Amino acid sequence: MLGPFYPQRRLVDFVLGASVQPCPGCGGEPPERGRPYCLGCSLELRGMDRVDALGLERELAWRLPVASVHALWWAEAGSRAEALYKALKFGGRRTLGPALGRAMARHRERMAPLPDGLVPVPTTIGRTWSRGYNQARLLAEGMATHWSLPVYPHLLQRLEGGLNLARLGKAQRMEQAKRDFIQANTVAGRPYRSEERDLLGLHLLLVDDVMTSGATLEQCGDLLVRRGAQLSVMVLARRRNQI
């Protein structure tokens, strides 16, 4: 069997269509075929357990009625987790999205009941156009495929022209998020009308790539709760030492 570092293996992977890009987590040798990152990154990533999940739930519970809050990884500055979510969000590594989404689904299903559907945090049309995708939607679709559940990407909308939340302080993030996100369409696809309770009885999982201050999750979650949804949240990574 050819090992991952043999030139012949590289040729075989290229012919078969495998990625020959460096590992998105460490920049080293390309991952084994079918894996989103290398074994070294797997050993370095700091996964979250049930105690961590309870901590995340307490962070949001006083601001938002949530059934559960989960993250796949802790992401300290300079960590492999930070490199991976930035490779997905800013580095054009689109294929990471569905693979990491499936990993998120496997992680969460050990600790919480399945939702009825998933809602990715929206991004602006401009950002979707420039990146070629919405990374939160790719993660949600990966999770939904693993569970055979629907994704509702049309329930919320992010307005153009808002400031980049990553460049704002915590209080500023909260205020900006309130202006950035609005109701969009109903589950059936028609325009949402004020005060409709079209999500009543649905347990929805709000999905995003990273949680920093929680401003985006709070605003998007609040919009869904107002429409009657029971809400849970999952992100790929929880940033630390940033704010």
pTM above 0.85, yes or no: yes
Which of 172, 173, 196 minimizes the C-alpha distance to 184?
Answer: 196
Q: What is the pLDDT of residue 170?
A: 62
Half-sphere exposure (Cβ direction) of 10: Cα atoms closer than 13 Å: 8
Q: What is the pLDDT of residue 213?
A: 86
**Which tokens in the block code for residue 217?**
């999750």
Q: pLDDT below 70 — which residues of the chain?
A: 1-19, 162-174, 241-243
What pLDDT, in 10s, does the model give residues 113-146?
Answer: 999 999 999 999 999 999 999 999 999 999 999 9
Residue identified by tokens 């939340």 is 165
Spatial separation of the C-alpha atoms in residues 222 and 229, rounded to whole Å: 9
* Contact call for residues 55 and 238 (beta carbons, < 8 A): no
Domain annotation for the chain: domains and CATH numbers: 8-44 (no CATH), 47-239 (3.40.50.2020)
What pLDDT, in 10s, does the model give residues 5-35?
Answer: 444 444 444 444 445 789 999 999 999 988 9
Which of 180, 218, 178, 223 minimizes the C-alpha distance to 199?
Answer: 223
Q: Report the length, in residues, of the chain.
A: 243
* Contact call for residues 157 and 184 (beta carbons, < 8 A): yes
Supply the DSSP symbol for 66. Answer: -
Spatial separation of the C-alpha atoms in residues 19 and 162, rounded to whole Å: 35
Spatial separation of the C-alpha atoms in residues 238 and 93, rounded to whole Å: 20
Q: What is the pLDDT of residue 172?
A: 64
